[in-house]
Amino acid sequence: MSFIKRAILHTVRKLGKSTLLFLVLLIMSILILTCLSIRSATETAELNVRESLGGTYSIAAKRTKGQITYDVLDKISKIKGVKKIENGHSESYAEYKSQDGNKLETKTTDSDIEDIKGFEHVGKLQSNMYSEKDEFFKNKTFKLLEGRHITKGDKNVLLVHKDFAKRNNLSIGDQIILDLNEALIKDTGYSPTQIKVKIIGIYEHTTEQETAMNVSYTLYENTVFTDQASFVDLHEFGKTPYYSDIEVVVDDPAKLDSIVNEMKLIDNVNWDLCRITYHDTDYQNAKKPLDSLNSLVTISIIIIIIVAISLIVLILVMWIRNRVYETGVFMSMGFSKANILLQHLTEILLIAIIAFSLSFPISSLISGQVGSALLGQSGNGINKLTQLNVNVSIENFILMYVIGVLLIVVSVIISTLPILKMKPKEILSTLS
Amino acid sequence: MNILKRSLLYIVRKRKRTLLLLIILTVISTLVLSGLSILNTTKDSSAKLRESTGSGFSITPNLETATKKATKDANSFDYEQEQINNDMLNKILKVNGVKGYNSKYIAVPSIQALDGKNLETVVYTDIFDMPILKYGAMGYGCIDTNYDSYFTSNKFKLAKGRHITKDDKNKIIMSSELAKKHNFKIGDKLKWTILDEAVEAQNGKGSTDIGTADIEVEIVGIFDILTEQSDKSSLSQHELYENFIFSDMQTIYDFYANSPQVKEEMDKGFYEVDFFVKDPKELETVMKNVKNISSINWNNFTITANDEVYKTSSDSMSNVDKLITTMIVIVVIISLIIVTLILSMWTRSRLRETGILMSTGISKANILTQYTLETLFVALFAFGLCYFISSLIAGNFGNIIDSSIESSDIKVTINSFIPVFSFGILSILISIGVSSISIMRMNPKEILSKMS
């Protein structure tokens, strides 16, 4: 009788014992596969937490004197993990003139500080890719009253304060001139070009400016918003358009470092002159608890795998030890040791292969149930999250299969060896 | 030979089998106990994760029910409305779930050394060469700087010393830049003043709002600036983060003691108070309970929830929590099944012995009791070992895997040990009982003939 036939016969005849071993192996492999699938789902859920907390970074590039051009922005937005360029911004001062060249009136300050010469008709000039995303509008210090916001692609447009419009009798559709006077270009080397801009929106401020110690040209009332093309032309006509401050939104705040490092590989920009600031407060606050949750899962998986392996080994040892008597009989009948060992291996592998194969559909089923029963993820419009699925991956399955079979072979051999070393007579006499 | 003796003899004689069972039971119960400890820690960490969103609510005067008074330039209005006073604060703080709160007043002091020498604050430009600007700082009088928005939003971070809390008097924290400029250390004192020039400038405009001030304050903490301001050279000195000084409320009261109008404003109470809750899940309940405080006229106040961060991330946060919990539940269930299976295997392998015992006339109940006793002895020992091992694992695992978990975070508590213990015993009893049924139904002759 060949060892294979003996193995099959043993498995069939001792159906109860075979079933038990089968069940133990099946349950252990289900445990491992299901937990691994839950682990990867947890990682996705954590990624989703990070994504929903969000992260941005800003580049302060004023010192590069215009190296962050539209081209560079395009390259940045193509870096993997960058969601979008939130806004580009520059800021400076400009003198306001009417179309016929007369200087326009600005609000004077009632503070303790006298106006500085040359700044009487000057105000803060803000330029934006999207004026809506400008700090002032974003934190609701300013509110658009009429007209529309400046958006990407606008040229020669302007938003003015209600007070400034009233003071100079301006309304939407009117054109004014932005200019730089002597005082403004002192020490800068700019050769200014007058830029004619059209008013497309009027805003007002909703919270009072914090302090009375302001000079007139920093007052909210004297601030105007324009597009970047006009801003660049005003200072250096014909220069490739650029931004001084850029805000970039990323998908995963944990990847800020790697994204910024990748960005710094972009040519033609002296990144040393840029100051990069992360805006990831929510993520930073949540980082510690998130990390501990992550470690908890890792710890659990490690414990589970160690326990599963040791249980399988122990049970196999128990299995073999129960068959000392049988082994003795076989040996006395003249079966070779290799033959007996092969029989044991065949029996267990036969059972294991069925158990492992079944574990895949069963744990997929359990994982699917866990996924659909537990997880609710409201589709949040602003933060598009990564799809959360609880799936048993083929990789994990194959890995478990291979490791499981190896484990069985090794532990069966190790636990059979001491028995095989004995003589049949010894075995049969120790038994009684 | 009585049952007890028989079972003890079995345990001792069949040392290897006993050891095997002991190891198996220890391993499984360690798994379950560690699982339960991890579950507890997960609950803690999830709570911390929710808490990290800094959720809470703000109370401000209700401007819709306020009395409007036109200001002198007639462009805007002054609103007259009740403000939150200390009485109300104390009542709100008694509501369960509120962990902290802050409110602040602004002052613009000039700073001086104790001997009266003016100290220039940090500056990046030379446009503002006037005394009232040159020595100017921004003073924020806070109840608790732990909860001030500059710190909760990570713009600033305390680097040395401590935060200002409710009971402080004339204590301040300043930026490391300002401290460095004048060699200030924690424990050093300086003065907050209103310069004569500033008072005169006010008087010149016909206002008597501001009176002189000259108070001593002590540095108790130094903060680092984490977010830089843009365009620093266009900001006046008191607008620079470097020149922000946080103080306690008493400092502000003292500072404006000679400024009747400001003092009157402050006596009305706090304009806006921000409250923070422990668990944003409970925010609605907490707010409802706050609104139920009948001694406060809620007509005069607006209460707003600040939980945007929590709202956008709560689904994902609870998914993490649920997934880990499910994993542990699966582990526990499977452990119970495994114990049952192994004990069945165990009892079945003793068929021959059972037959012999039965044929010597020992009753079935007696045999069953013996088996149960044996297993229970081993199990008791295993559970003891498991408690020891789990504590050891819990104590060290955190450090090994990731420093983010402090060893004290994972605790094997008696609370999780008791269910392991009782469920363990229960599953042992059930599985021995169930697996013995078939054997116990047979008679000795059947068993022994089946054996060969």
| pLDDT beneath 70, residues of chain A | 1, 110-116, 187-189, 210-214, 375-384, 431-432
* Inter-chain residue contact B313 with A113, CB threshold 8 Å: no
* Inter-chain residue contact A370 with B231, CB threshold 8 Å: no
> For residue B75, what pLDDT band results from cuts at 50, 70 and 90?
low
pLDDT average, residue stretch B432-438: 79
Query: Kind and range of the H or E element at B450?
Result: helix B444-451
Integer Cα distance of B39 and B198 in angstroms: 62
Test the B interface: residue of A213, A310, A313, A351 with most B CBs within 10 Å: A213
Integer Cα distance of B372 and B431 in angstroms: 10
Planar angle of CA A8, A10, A14, nearest 5 degrees: 125
Mind telling me how many Å the CA of A70 is from chain B's nearest CA? 21
Which residue among A35, A112, A282 sits closest to B330, beta carbon to beta carbon?
Answer: A35
Count the residues in chain B. 452
Which sign, positive or negative, has the C-alpha torsion B232, B111, B103, B145? positive
Which residue among A16, A213, A388 sits closest to B348, beta carbon to beta carbon?
Answer: A16
Integer Cα distance of B344 and B434 in angstroms: 8
pLDDT average, residue stretch B313-329: 88
Integer Cα distance of A230 and A224 in angstroms: 12
- The answer to whether ipTM exceeds 0.90 is no
* Inter-chain residue contact B401 with A295, CB threshold 8 Å: yes
A377 touches chain B (CB under 8 A): yes
Tell me what pLDDT residue A431 has: 60
The string of pLDDT tens digits covering residues B361-408 is 888 888 888 888 888 889 989 988 888 887 777 666 655 555 455 544
A398 touches chain B (CB under 8 A): no
Question: Coil, strand or helix: which one is A107?
Answer: coil
The string of pLDDT tens digits covering residues B127-139 is 666 766 788 889 9
pLDDT at B412 over 70: no
Residues of A (280-299) whose Cβ lies below 8 Å from B: 281-282, 284-286, 288-299
Tell me what pLDDT residue B260 has: 80
pLDDT at B450 over 50: yes
Which chain B residue lies closest to A297 (C-alpha atoms)?
B324
pLDDT average, residue stretch B28-50: 86
Percentage of residues in chain B with pLDDT exceeding 90?
18
Listing DSSP states for A317-386 in one string gives HHHHHTTHHHHHHHHHTT--HHHHHHHHHHHHHHHHHHHHHHHHHHHHHHHHHHHHHH------SSSPPP
Which chain A residue lies closest to B231 (C-alpha atoms)?
A91
Which residue among B23, B45, B319 sits closest to A375, beta carbon to beta carbon?
Answer: B319
> For residue B431, what pLDDT band results from cuts at 50, 70 and 90?
confident
Tell me what pLDDT residue B173 has: 95
Beta bridge partners of B78: B69
Tell me what pLDDT residue B180 has: 92
Residues A202, A146 contacting (CB under 8 angstroms):
yes
pLDDT at B219 over 60: yes
Tokens of B336: 């119970």
Residues A154, A227 contacting (CB under 8 angstroms):
yes
A317 touches chain B (CB under 8 A): yes
Tell me what pLDDT residue B162 has: 94
Integer Cα distance of B238 and B244 in angstroms: 7
Which chain A residue lies closest to B127 (C-alpha atoms)?
A116
pLDDT, chain B, mean:
83
Lowest average pLDDT, out of A135-149, B88-102, B333-347, goes to B333-347
Residue A91 with chain B: CB contacts under 8 Å: 230-231
Residue A286 with chain B: CB contacts under 8 Å: 49, 52-53, 313
Residues of A (334-353) whose Cβ lies below 8 Å from B: none
Q: A394-421 and A281-321 helices cross at what angle (nearest 10)?
A: 30
Task: Give start and end residues of each alpha helix (H) in B100-233.
Answer: 131-134, 149-152, 176-181, 196-204
Q: Count the alpha carbons within 13 Å of B98 in the hemisphere toward its beta carbon.
A: 21
Residues A247, A55 contacting (CB under 8 angstroms):
no
Tokens of A95: 């003198």
Mind telling me how many Å the CA of A277 is from chain B's nearest CA? 7
Tell me what pLDDT residue A379 has: 46
* Inter-chain residue contact A42 with B324, CB threshold 8 Å: yes
Residue A54 with chain B: CB contacts under 8 Å: 312
Beta bridge partners of B67: B80
Across B176-190, B232-246, B426-440, which has the greatest mean pLDDT? B176-190
Mind telling me how many Å the CA of A111 is from chain B's nearest CA? 9
* Inter-chain residue contact A20 with B341, CB threshold 8 Å: yes
Residues B280, B307 contacting (CB under 8 angstroms):
yes
Integer Cα distance of A342 and A320 in angstroms: 13
pLDDT average, residue stretch B184-201: 84
Integer Cα distance of B225 and A212 in angstroms: 25
Tell me what pLDDT residue B407 has: 46
Tell me what pLDDT residue B287 has: 93
Test the A interface: residue of B124, B225, B327 with most A CBs within 10 Å: B327
Mind telling me how many Å the CA of A335 is from chain B's nearest CA? 20
